[in-house]
Amino acid sequence: MWKITLKSLLAHKLRLALTAIAIVLGVTFVSGTYILTDTIHNTFTSLFSTVYRGFDFQVRGVAQFSGPGTAVRNPIPESILPKIRKVPGVEDAAGSVVGYAQFVSHGGKAIANGGAPTIGASLHSKTLSYLHIVEGRAPTTSHGVVMDAGTAKKYHFKVGQQVRVLLFGPPRTFTITGIARFGDTANLAGATMAAFDTTTAQKVLGEVGKFNAIYVKVAPGAGKLAIQRDIARVLPRGVDVVTRQAVVNEAISSINQPLSFLSTTLLIFAFIALFVGAFTILNTFSVVVGQRTRELALLRVVGASRRQVFRSVLVEAAILGLVSSLIGLGLGVLTAMGIEALLRGFGISIPSGSPVLAARTVIMALVLGVGVTILAAISPARRAVRIPPVAAISDSHVVDVSLRRRFTWGASIAIAGAAVLGIGLSNHAVQLVGLGALGVFIGVAMLLPAVASPLSSAIGRPLARTLGVAGRLGRANSMRSPRRTAQTASALMIGLAVVSAFAVIGASISKSVTSVADNAVSADLIVYGKMSSPMSPGFSTTVPRVVAALPGVTATNTIYGHTPMSGQFKFRHSLETLTGVSARHLAGTIRLHMTAGDSRALASGTMLIDATVAKSDHLSVGDTVPVRFALTGRSTVRIGGVYKPNPIVGSYLVSDSYYLPHFQNPLPSGVLLRTSGGSAVEREVQHALAPYPNVQVQNRAQLEHSQLAQIDKLLGLVYALLALAVIIALIGIVNTLVLSVFERTREIGLLRAVGMKRRQVRIMIRAESVILSIFGAVVGIIIGTGLGVALASSLGSAGITDISVPASSMVVFIILSAVLGLLAATWPARRAAKLDVLAAIAAE
Site residues for another protein per CB under 8 A: 1, 3-4, 7-8, 10-11, 294-295, 298-306, 308, 388-390, 392-393
How are beta strands 172-182 and 144-148 bridged, if at all? parallel
Those residues with Cβ within 8 angstroms of residue 628's Cβ, 6 or more apart along the chain or in another chain: 64, 65, 569, 570, 634, 635
Closest to another protein by CB, 394 or 466: 394
> Least CB distance from residue 313 to another protein, whole Å?
14
**What's the full length of the chain, in residues?**
844
Q: Helix-strand-coil percent breakdown of the chain, rounded to 5? A: 60, 20, 25
> Least CB distance from residue 14 to another protein, whole Å?
14
Stretch (H or E) spanning 211:
strand 210-211
How are beta strands 162-166 and 172-182 bridged, if at all? antiparallel
> Least CB distance from residue 295 to another protein, whole Å?
6
> Least CB distance from residue 310 to another protein, whole Å?
12
Closest to another protein by CB, 3 or 573: 3
Closest to another protein by CB, 4 or 720: 4
Closest to another protein by CB, 294 or 461: 294
Give the separation between CA 47 and CA 30, rounded to whole angstroms: 26
> Least CB distance from residue 839 to another protein, whole Å?
13
Is residue 293 a contact partner of residue 399, using CB atoms and an 8 Å limit?
yes
797 DSSP 8-state letter: G
Tell me if residue 526 falls in helix, strand or coil: strand
Give the separation between CA 810 and CA 772, rounded to whole angstroms: 17
> Least CB distance from residue 841 to another protein, whole Å?
17
> Least CB distance from residue 296 to another protein, whole Å?
10
Tell me the HSE value of 339 on the side-chain side, using a 13 A CA sphere: 31
Q: What is the DSSP string of 13-30?
A: HHHHHHHHHHHHHHHHHH
> Least CB distance from residue 382 to another protein, whole Å?
14
Calculate the CA 248 to chain-centre distance: 26
How are beta strands 162-166 and 102-104 bridged, if at all? antiparallel
> Least CB distance from residue 343 to another protein, whole Å?
46
> Least CB distance from residue 385 to another protein, whole Å?
10
Give the separation between CA 272 and CA 260, rounded to whole angstroms: 18
* Amino acid identity at 793: S
Give the separation between CA 649 and CA 568, rounded to whole angstroms: 14
Task: Output b/e per residue, 728-766; b: 16+ Cβ within 10 A.
Answer: bbbbbbbbbbbbbbbebbeebbebbeeebeeebbbbbbb
> Least CB distance from residue 388 to another protein, whole Å?
8
Q: Left (φ > 0), alpha (ψ -120 to 50) or beta: where does 773 sit?
A: alpha
> Least CB distance from residue 842 to another protein, whole Å?
13
Centre a 10 Å sphere on the Cβ of residue 588 and count the other Cβ atoms it contains: 16
603 DSSP 8-state letter: G
Is residue 95 a contact partner of residue 122, using CB atoms and an 8 Å limit?
yes
* Amino acid identity at 836: D
Closest to another protein by CB, 226 or 839: 839
Q: What are phi and psi of 523, to 5 degrees?
A: -70, 155
Question: Which burial class, exposed, middle or buried, applies to 387 when counting CB atoms under 10 A from its CB (0-12, 13-18, 19+)?
Answer: buried
Closest to another protein by CB, 6 or 750: 6
Tell me if residue 576 falls in helix, strand or coil: strand
Closest to another protein by CB, 6 or 342: 6
Closest to another protein by CB, 298 or 432: 298
Closest to another protein by CB, 184 or 844: 844
> Least CB distance from residue 287 to another protein, whole Å?
17
Closest to another protein by CB, 206 or 290: 290
> Least CB distance from residue 5 to another protein, whole Å?
10
> Least CB distance from residue 315 to another protein, whole Å?
14
Strands of 568-679, DSSP E:
568-571, 574-581, 594-597, 607-610, 624-629, 633-643, 652-655, 668-675
Closest to another protein by CB, 4 or 248: 4
Task: Output b/e per residue, 293-320; b: 16+ Cβ within 10 A.
Answer: beebbbbbeeebeeeebbbbbbbbbbbb
Give the separation between CA 613 and CA 645, rounded to whole angstroms: 9
Closest to another protein by CB, 385 or 459: 385
Task: Output b/e per residue, 550-584; b: 16+ Cβ within 10 A.
Answer: bebbebbbbbbbbbebbbbbbbeeeebbbbbbbbe
Closest to another protein by CB, 319 or 423: 319
> Least CB distance from residue 2 to another protein, whole Å?
9
Closest to another protein by CB, 17 or 363: 17
Closest to another protein by CB, 348 or 393: 393
Question: Which burial class, exposed, middle or buried, applies to 70 when counting CB atoms under 10 A from its CB (0-12, 13-18, 19+)?
Answer: middle
Closest to another protein by CB, 6 or 416: 6
- Interior angle at CA 528, CA 522 and CA 529, nearest 5: 165
Give the separation between CA 452 and CA 455, rounded to whole angstroms: 5
> Least CB distance from residue 375 to another protein, whole Å?
25
Tell me the torsion sign for CA atoms 528, 529, 535, 541: negative
Give the separation between CA 669 and CA 560, rounded to whole angstroms: 5
Closest to another protein by CB, 393 or 819: 393
> Least CB distance from residue 393 to another protein, whole Å?
6
Those residues with Cβ within 8 angstroms of residue 484's Cβ, 6 or more apart along the chain or in another chain: 283, 286, 287, 736, 740
Closest to another protein by CB, 204 or 385: 385
